[in-house]
Amino acid sequence: MNVVHPFEGIGASVRRKEDRRFLSGRGQYTDDINRPGQLYAHILRSPHAHARIGAIDTTAARAMPGVEAIYTSADMAGIGGLPCGWQIHNKDGTPMAEPKHPVLAEGKVRHVGDPVAVVIAATRQQARDAAEAIEVEYDVLPAAATLAQAQAPGAPAVHDDLPANLCYDWHIGEKAAVDAAFAQAAHRVVFETTNNRLVPNAMEPRSAIGDYDATTGEHTLWTTSQNPHVIRLLMGAFVLNLPEAKLRVVAPDVGGGFGSKIYHYAEEAIVTWAAHKLERPVKWTSDRTEAFMSDAHGRDHVTRAELALDKDGKFLALHVQTQANMGAYLSTFAPCVPTYLYATLLAGVYSTPAIYAEVKAVFTHTVPVDAYRGAGRPEATYLLERLVDVAAKQCGFDRVELRRKNFIATDAFPYQTPVALQYDSGDYFSTLDQALQSADWAGFEARRAEAKARGKLRGIGISTYLEACGIAPSAVVGSLGARAGLYEVGTIRVHPTGSVTVLTGAHSHGQGHETTFAQLVADKLGVPVANVDIVHGDTAKVPFGMGTYGSRSLAVGGSAMDKAMDKIIAKGKRIAAHLMEASVEDVEFERGTFRVAGTDKTKALAEVSLAAYVPHNYPIEELEPGLEETAFYDPKNFTYPGGCHIAEVEIEPETGRVQLVNFTAVDDVGRVINPMIVEGQVQGGVAQGVGQALLEACVYDEAGQLVSASMMDYCLPRAEDLAPVSVATHTTLCTHNPLGVKGCGEVGAIGSPPAVINAVVDALRDYGVEHVEMPATPQKIWSILHRQQS
C-alpha cells in the first residue's frame, strides 16, 4: 500500500533530498565533468573599456606548448550575434535599438572583459600562457561607464550608429491623468535615488563544455544554466544554426544563479563551435575575477520620482522617470527588466489611481546588465518604499499609518492597477499587523533609548511590498515584446510498481526542487518522497521547458506537474474501474488509492500502474498501456507575493558602521509546500537584500575600469553582517493556479533593501538626514555625520 508516513505532502518540512549529495561533495557540477580527449579554452578579454582593435598577432602564441587553436572574430564569420529575447518599443512606437552582440569582439571592444580571442590548448595553464602571448593592438578610446557619462553631450558612442547611446525611451501609464492629479494635490514629494549596480556572484563560477560526435553529428553542451532548453533554442537557432535534434544541452548540478545563469553567454557558443571544428571536447571554466567582468550584472538605475498626496495622505498620482544602464550590449532579457518587471510594479500595495513612468535605457562601456534576484521589482520596491517614508516625513504622517491608509483593500481583489497588472489576491493589512507585532514595533523607542545609552544610534524601518512573479502568461508577455512563451512542462512517469519519475522543465540551482516537487507527488498521488525522482536540466530527457527564474518553478512548473498528475489520475480511474468492475464515474482517488465510492473496494496506485504496464486484464481496446502523462501549463496571470519586512539597525557614530540587529519578514507566498525551504529561500533573499543595502557596490572608474573586480573590493554579506531573520508567512491563495502558490525565491531580496535603508535613515533622525544611498557603508555614514557636525 502507498501509505505516506510520516506525512510528506504539502506543508511538511521534508529535509532536502539533494543535500546529502551537495554536503558530501558529490554533486556533479559542469566543471566536475571531463570528457575523453578534452581540451581547455581560455578567453582573452579586453583590458580596456573602449578601444578599436588593430592587428591581433597570434604567431608566438600558436607556437606555444599544447596550443591546438586560437580563434578571433575573423575565424567565426557567419556565426550570429548573441540574441536578445525581449523587444521593447519606444514612446513613438519604433523598436528599441538592438546592436549586434558578437560572440568575439568585432573591430571594437566595449567593456573591460569583452572577449577578444579564444585559445584552446591541452591544459588550462597552457591556454592561459598562450593567451598572454597574443599581441593585440588597441587604439584606446574615451569611455562612458555611468549613466551620466553616457548621456552627457558628446559622450563616447558605445555603438557607432547610436550617437546618443539610447537603447529605448519607453513609457507606461496615463500622463494626462497624472498631470491632472498633481495639479490639485495638497502635497508633492520628490525623491531621487540611485539603485546600486550589483554583481551576482553565484558560488559556482560559470563553466561550459562543448562536445561533438562526428559519427552522429550530435552536439552536446554542458553548461551552468538555469534554463537549458532556452539555451538550446537561442544558441541553436540564432548563433550556430544547429537543429534542436542535433543539439543536446545539459545543465547538471548548478551552484547558484540568481538570474546570472539565465542568459546565453558567448562562452557557450564558443565551446560548442570549437568542439565541432576541432572534433575534440572543449571546456571553459570562469575564475572569480573573470566572473566579475563577464557575468551579467544587476540593477544600476537612476530615478526621479514624484508623489502627489491629498491633505489626508491619500496617494493621488505617481510620476517616475528612470534611467537604466544596459551595459555595452543587450543581454538576453535585459530590456524587459527596467520596463515590464519594474514600471508595472510601481503601484506596489497601494491604490494610487494614476501612475506614469518613463524609462530610458542607455548603453555604457560596462558589462551587460540583466535580471538579478528580483529583477526590476527590487528597484521598484526600493523606490516606492523609500518614497513613502520620505513623504511621511515631509508631510508629517506616521509612516505605518500612511501605508495602511493607502493599501489596496482586502476585498478589492481582483485589483486592476494603472500600470497593466491585475492582482488576484492579497491581504496587506494582515502581513503588516503580524510583522509589527513580531518585530515589537511598539517597543522600539525603549530599545532606541537603551542603545543610545551604549553610544549607538538605533533605527527601525519598514517596507510593505508586492512583487509579480510566476512568469508568465505567454500571450501577455508576447504582446509586451517577449520573443518566447513562458509556460512550463511536466511529465509524470508512474513506473510499473508505482514509483514515479518526474521530468520538469524547471531547473534547480539551490531551490530544493528535488524535494518540493516530490512532495507535490507525495501529496497528490500518495507516493513516498523517497520513491519520487525529479529529473531536470537535460534537453535529451525533459520534453521542453523554460527554466527557473522569476520565482516561477512552483507556480508554473509545479502547476504543469499538477495537471499531468490530473491526467494520470483520470487514466488510472479508467484502469481501476476496469479492475474493480465498476463504472469510471464511481471511482474516486485520494492519495494513492482508487476506491469505488461508498464501498470498501480499492486498488492501490501500484496495482493500477502494474496493470497498465502488464496489461493482461486491461481495457486494451479503449486505452493505451502505460502510465505516463505530460502537461504544458501556461499561467493565466502573474502571481503576486507580498508582505512586510521590518529591519532594525544600530549605527556606531564614531566609525559609521551599520549593524543589522533584527530582521522580521512576514510574507504571503501563497500555499507553502515546504516551510523549511521557504524559510531558507526568504533568509537567503534577505541576505542578498541586506548586501545591496549595506555592503555591495559594483564600482567603475571614470575610464571604465572595474574597480570592484574581486572579493577584495566587492563586499558580499558574511554571517556577522546579518542578524537573526525571523520568517513567517500569512497565506492568501493564488486564485488562478491549481496549487494556490505564488513563489518565494525573490521576496527576500525585493522587500528587504528599503526596510534596511528606512531603518538607517530612522537611526539618523536627529541629524536631519533625509536619505542615504545604497550601500550604506561606514565611510558614507561617517561622511554624513561628519558633515552634519562640522
Partner 1 sequence: MYDFAYHKPSSLAEAARLLAADPDAKAIAGGHTLLPALKHRLNRPSSLVDLSGIAEMRGIRREGDSLVIGALTRHEAVARSSEVKSAIPALVHLAQHIGDTQVRNRGTIGGSVANNDPAADYPAAVLGLGATVRTSRREIPADEFFLGMFTTALEPDEILTAIAFPIPEKAGYAKMRNPASRYVMAGAFVSKGKMGVRVAINGAGPCVFRQAAMEAALAANWSPEAVAGIKQSADGLNSDIHGSAEYRAHLVSVMAKRAVQAAG
By CB atoms closer than 10 A (0-12, 13-18, 19+), residue 540 is: exposed
In angstroms, what is the minimal distance from the CB of 699 to partner 1? 5
CA distance 598 to 591: 17
Smallest distance from partner 1 to CB 782, Å: 6
Least distance from partner 1 to the Cβ atom of residue 656, Å: 8
- Give the angle subtended at the CA of 710 by the CAs of 706 and 712, to the nearest 5°: 115
From 52, 175, 786, 787, residue interacting with partner 1 (rule: CB under 8 A): 786
Pick from 184, 497, 583, 655: which binds partner 1 (CB under 8 A)? Answer: 655
Measured CA to CA, the distance from residue 57 to residue 299 in angstroms comes to 38
Residue 549 CB, nearest approach to partner 1 (Å): 28
702 scored as a contact of partner 1 (CB under 8 A)? no
Residue 757 in contact with partner 1, rule: CB under 8 A? no
Render the burial of 467-506: b for 16+ CB within 10 Å, e for the rest.
bbbbbbbbebbeebbbbbbbbbbbbbbbbeebbbbbbbbb
374 close to 750: Cβ distance less than 8 angstroms? yes
The number of residues making up the chain comes to 790
Segment near partner 1 (CB under 8 A); pick from 85-93, 225-233, 470-478, 649-657: 649-657
C-alpha cell at 754: 528599503
Q: How far is the CB of 293 from partner 1 (least distance, A)?
A: 14
Residue 47 is a binding residue for partner 1 (CB under 8 A): no
Q: What are the grid coordinates assigned to 760, written together?
A: 538607517
Only segment of 267-275, 327-335, 560-568, 705-713 that touches partner 1 (CB under 8 A): 705-713
In whole angstroms, give the CA distance from residue 649 to residue 449.
13
Please name the amino acid found at residue 232.
Answer: R
Q: Which of 705, 708, 731, 735 binds partner 1 (CB under 8 A)?
A: 708
Of 184, 711, 765, 788, which lies in the binding site for partner 1, with binding defined by CB under 8 A?
Answer: 711
Q: Which is nearer to partner 1, 289 or 499 (CB)?
A: 289
- Dist CA 637 CA 470 (whole Å): 8
No. of helices (H) and no. of strands (E), the chain: 19, 28
User: Contact between 715 and partner 1 (CB under 8 A)?
Assistant: yes
In degrees and rounded to multiples of 5, residue 443 shows phi and psi of: -90, 10
Residue 128 or 246 with smaller CB distance to partner 1: 128
Kindly report the number of other CB atoms within 10 A of residue 380's CB atom. Answer: 31
320 beta partners: 305, 357
Stretch that binds partner 1, among 346-354, 364-372, 506-514, 779-787 (CB under 8 A): 779-787
Q: Is 34 in the site for partner 1 (CB under 8 A)?
A: no
415 three-state secondary structure: strand
Closer CB to partner 1, 422 or 655, in the complex: 655
User: How far is the C-alpha of 621 from the C-alpha of 355, rounded, in Å?
Assistant: 61
Cβ contacts of residue 719 below 8 Å, gap of 6+? none
Question: Which of 18-26, 114-122, 160-168, 651-659 is the region at the interface with partner 1 (rule: CB under 8 A)?
Answer: 651-659
Chosen residue from 95, 707, 765, 787 binding partner 1 by CB under 8 A: 707
In the region spanning residues 68 to 127, those forming contacts with partner 1, defined by CB under 8 A, are 125
Task: Extract the C-alpha cell encoding 499.
Answer: 514509483
Distances (CA, A) of 641 to 48, 134, 428, 469, 476: 42, 52, 10, 8, 19
The least CB distance from residue 753 to partner 1, in Å, is 17
| Residue number with CB closer to partner 1 (180 or 715) | 715
Complex with partner 1: residue 129 or 562, whichever CB lies closer: 129
- Region near partner 1 per CB under 8 A, out of 259-267, 434-442, 752-760, 773-781: 773-781
Burial class (CB in 10 A: 0-12, 13-18, 19+), 587: buried
Binder among 182, 423, 429, 714 for partner 1 (CB under 8 A): 714
Residue 229 near residue 505 (C-beta atoms within 8 A)? yes
Do the beta carbons of residue 732 and residue 668 sit within 8 Å? Answer: yes
Selected from 654, 724, 765, 770, the binder of partner 1 by CB under 8 A is 654
Q: Using alpha carbons, select from 370, 364, 295 the residue that is nearest to residue 338.
A: 370
Neighbours of 404 (CB within 10 A): 15
Distance CA 23, CA 419 (A): 45
Strand partners, 569: none
Contact window for partner 1 (CB under 8 A) among 482-490, 711-719, 738-746, 764-772: 711-719
Place of cell 565551446: 271
Task: Kindly state the cell numbers that stand for 189.
Answer: 514629494
CB of 788 to partner 1, least distance (A): 14
Cell numbers for 14, please give them. 521534508
Is the Cβ of residue 181 or residue 709 nearer to partner 1 in the bound state? 709
Q: Could you tell me the smallest distance in angstroms from the CB atom of residue 41 to partner 1?
A: 17
What's the min distance (Å) between Cβ of 410 and partner 1?
Answer: 42
Q: Which is nearer to partner 1, 53 or 131 (CB)?
A: 131
Contact region with partner 1 (CB under 8 A), list: 77-85, 735-743, 762-770, 771-779: 771-779
The residues with which 502 forms a beta bridge, in sequence order, are 492, 534
**Minimum distance from CB of 123 to partner 1 (Å)?**
11
The enclosing H or E element of 689 equals: helix 675-690
H/E run at residue 683:
helix 675-690
Closer of 207 and 332 to partner 1 (Cβ): 207
Q: Please state the closest distance from residue 775 (CB atom) to partner 1, in A.
A: 9
Per CB under 8 A, does 712 bind partner 1? yes
x-or-dash pattern for partner 1, window 656-685, by CB under 8 A? -x----------------------------
Nearer residue to partner 1 within complex by CB, 533 or 721: 721
778 binds partner 1 (CB under 8 A): yes
CB of 708 to partner 1, least distance (A): 7
User: Which of 546, 421, 553 has its CA nearest to residue 482?
Assistant: 546
Q: Which is nearer to partner 1, 126 or 165 (CB)?
A: 126
Does 783 contact partner 1 by CB under 8 A? yes
- Whichever of 569 and 698 has its CB closer to partner 1, that residue is 698
User: Measured from the CB of residue 716, what is the shortest distance to partner 1 in angstroms?
Assistant: 8
Residue 441: CB minimum distance to partner 1, A: 29
Of the candidate residues 18, 31, 129, 562, the single one contacting partner 1 (CB under 8 A): 129
Query: Is residue 699 a contact point for partner 1 (CB under 8 A)?
Result: yes
Min. distance of Cβ 458 from partner 1 in angstroms? 20
Measured CA to CA, the distance from residue 520 to residue 534 in angstroms comes to 11
Residues in 737-756 at the binding interface with partner 1, rule: CB under 8 A: none
Q: What is the 3-state secondary structure (H, E, C) of 702-744?
A: CCCCECCCCCCCCCCCCHHHCCCEEEEECCCCCCCCCCCECCC
Residues 274 and 264: their CA atoms lie apart, in Å, by 17
How many Å apart are CA 443 and CA 440, to the nearest integer?
5
Site residues for partner 1, 534-553, by CB under 8 A, read: none
CB 194 to partner 1: min, Å: 15
Residue type, position 475, single letter: A
Size of the residue set binding partner 1 (CB under 8 A): 24
User: Is the CB of 363 or the CB of 714 nearer to partner 1?
Assistant: 714
Q: Site residues for partner 1, window 289-348 (CB under 8 A)? A: 289
Which one, 118 or 694, has the nearer CB to partner 1?
A: 694
Q: Does 695 bind partner 1 (CB under 8 A)?
A: yes
* DSSP strands (E only) in 574-636: 587-590, 593-596, 602-604, 628-633
Please give the residue ranges that form the binding site for partner 1 (CB under 8 A).
125, 128-129, 132, 289, 654-655, 657, 695, 697, 699, 707-708, 711-715, 777-779, 782-783, 786
